[in-house]
Structure 1
Amino acid sequence: MSAVTPEPATPDQTPAPAVKVDHLRFHKGHAHLAPTFGNDAFALKAEAFARFFGTPTFLGAQTLIVLLWVGANLTGLVKFDLYPFILLNLAFSLQSAYAAPLILLAQTRQSARDKATADADAQHREALAVANEDRMSRAAQNTAQMLELLEQNTRLTELTKALTERVEALTADMHKHFVKKDGHA
């Protein structure tokens, strides 16, 4: 793939505009992987929920709830879940039953997105390498042409110098020849 260059302009035309290259063209084939769970309302809520599990806010809130739960039941303020806190264990089990699949799904989709991004980046780097090779080849051709033109210019300059010296010598000979004739006559 080579970069698109504008056509050279003729004297009565303006230069043709360069074609804009879409630098994210390799990523478009993987756009369906962008949303973790999809694009509908449930998917967006599920992704937000899965992301919330790893935040300090979630850990702090859960710790506070557990402390209040245990404290209220141990002090006798409430008596709905006495020691060994079976209801609390059931709540944790229920939370784990929903959290684990959501987190695993989020990780799986994230790894798929990472792989797709890496593949697209590799394709982009390959395209850049090919374009760079093309530019280097054209630069080498231009350098060779410039050297050839420079050699031709050097030969023409040498030829011009030789012809100028020859004209000068002929002019000097003619001048001597005519000055002698004019001096004798």
Structure 2
Amino acid sequence: MKISHISKQEIARGEAIRGLEIRTGIFDLLRNKFPDFTKDDFISIDELNQYRRIYLTSLITLEKGELAKIDSDVMEAIKNNSILSENIQDEIEADLTPGQRIADKVAAFGGSWTFIITFFSFILVWMLINIWFLAAKPFDPYPFILLNLILSCLAAIQAPIIMMSQNRQEQKDRQRSEHDYKINLKAELEIKLLSEKIDHLLVHQNKKLLEIQEVQTDYLEDLMKEIKKSGHKK
């Protein structure tokens, strides 16, 4: 009669399982609990089934933990996905100098209908005053040389201000392009990372499922042996 290494009791005939015949995962589990257990030692089939159940439970628990970790990583990646795209306009506006702010406002006003109507009204009033109201002694008689001088000075000042604002707009567009590039690059990296996680999950999960099926197959083989033994006894 063979003696069980775990319970130190005799094992019934035909129910002794040698350590060499035990699957690697279950054997390692036994070694963790019984460090002196070797491949030449024996345990009963009931004890083996007990540790099979423990091993299957640990596999399922580990699988759930890995799924939860991947879900957590995905949620964290989604939460962090808006970091680069937030407050872009605030960052651009924060770097402006007072002169650049004034140039932007002047350019915005100079390209509006408000400026066109206001300036056209100013020219019309200037001409009416010098032709009708001050016809006897106008301060800017026809052909309105003073008005032409004012218009020339205004055009000479307005042109570089508009150019300055256009340069600022090009700088803004360049900064937005850099932000877009960073966001696209981050999205590409996140997609690649999630794809690798899914691939790892599928491969790892298939290995775990295969191992679980192998343990279940061992169960079935042992059951078939017991059924055959019962049939022979009858």
What TM-score do you get using the length of structure 1 for normalisation?
0.71
Deviates more, 1:165-174 or 1:112-121: 165-174
CA deviation vs aligned residue, 1:47-93 (integer Å, no higher than 9, x gap): 32222111111111011111111222222435122221111111111
How many residues were matched structurally?
A: 156
Counterpart for residue 75 of structure 1: 132
- For the residue of structure 1 that corresponds to 2:83, the secondary structure is coil
Inter-partner Cα distance in structure 1 for 2:147 and 2:171: 36
Question: What CA RMSD, in Å, does the superposition of the two structures yield over aligned residues?
Answer: 3.0
More strand by share: 2
Counterpart for residue 202 of structure 2: 143
Inter-partner Cα distance in structure 2 for 1:126 and 1:166: 60
| Deviation, structure 1 residue 25 | 8.1
Counterpart for residue 118 of structure 2: 61
Is the CA contact (8 Å cut-off) linking 2:100 and 2:168 kept in structure 1? no
Name the CA shift for 1:76/1:117 in 2 (closer, same or farther; >3 Å).
same
Name the CA shift for 1:77/1:36 in 2 (closer, same or farther; >3 Å).
farther
Name the CA shift for 1:47/1:35 in 2 (closer, same or farther; >3 Å).
farther
CA deviation vs aligned residue, 1:120-141 (integer Å, no higher than 9, x gap): 2102211221122112111101
| Deviation, structure 1 residue 173 | 2.4
Inter-partner Cα distance in structure 1 for 2:84 and 2:213: 49
Name the CA shift for 1:37/1:75 in 2 (closer, same or farther; >3 Å).
farther
Which structure would you say has the larger RCO, counting Cα contacts within 8 Å and 6 or more residues apart? 1
Out of 124, 128, 132, the position equivalent to 2:183 is 124
Aligned letter for 2:104? E
Within-5 A mapping of 1:32-181: 34=93, 38=97, 40=98, 42-77=99-134, 79-174=138-233, 176=234
Out of 78, 84, 97, the position equivalent to 1:24 is 84
Inter-partner Cα distance in structure 2 for 1:65 and 1:35: 36
| Deviation, structure 1 residue 37 | 5.4
Percent of aligned pairs sharing the same letter: 22
Is the CA contact (8 Å cut-off) linking 2:84 and 2:182 kept in structure 1? no
Is the CA contact (8 Å cut-off) linking 1:81 and 1:87 kept in structure 2? yes
- Structure 1: gaps spanning 5 or more residues: 1-7, 9-14, 177-185
| Deviation, structure 1 residue 36 | 7.9
Inter-partner Cα distance in structure 2 for 1:165 and 1:145: 30
Is the CA contact (8 Å cut-off) linking 1:74 and 1:82 kept in structure 2? yes
